[in-house]
Amino acid sequence: MNTKGIFKNIGLTPVAALILVIAPYFIMFLPQAPFFALTREDGFLENVSAIYYLLATIGCLLLFANAKNFRDPAKQAIYFSLTRRYAFLMLGLIFFVSLGEEISWGQRLIGFDTPETVAARNVQGEFNIHNLELFNPRTMDEAPKEGLAAIFTARRVFIALFAFYLFVLPLLHTFSRSIRQLTKYLYIPVPPLWMGLLYVGNIILFMGLNRIFTNNQMLKNGISEVEELNISFLLMLVPFIFLRLPRFLRKPEQVAA
How far the first Cα of the chain sits from its last, in Å, is: 34
pLDDT of res. 9: 46
Which residue(s) pair with 138 in the sheet?
144
Helix/strand/coil for 134: coil
Identify the pLDDT of residue 250: 58
Cα distances (angstroms) measured from residue 17 to each of 2, 64, 120, 197 = 24, 25, 41, 11
Q: Model's pTM, two decimal places?
A: 0.89
The total number of structural domains in the chain stands at: 1
Residues 6+ apart with CB under 8 A from 207: none
Domain span holding position 160: 4-256
Contact 149, 137 (CB under 8 A): no
Question: By the 8 A CB rule, do 25 and 224 touch?
Answer: no
Percent with pLDDT over 90 in the chain: 68
Given a contact cutoff of 8 angstroms between Cβ atoms, the answer to whether 64 and 244 are in contact is: no
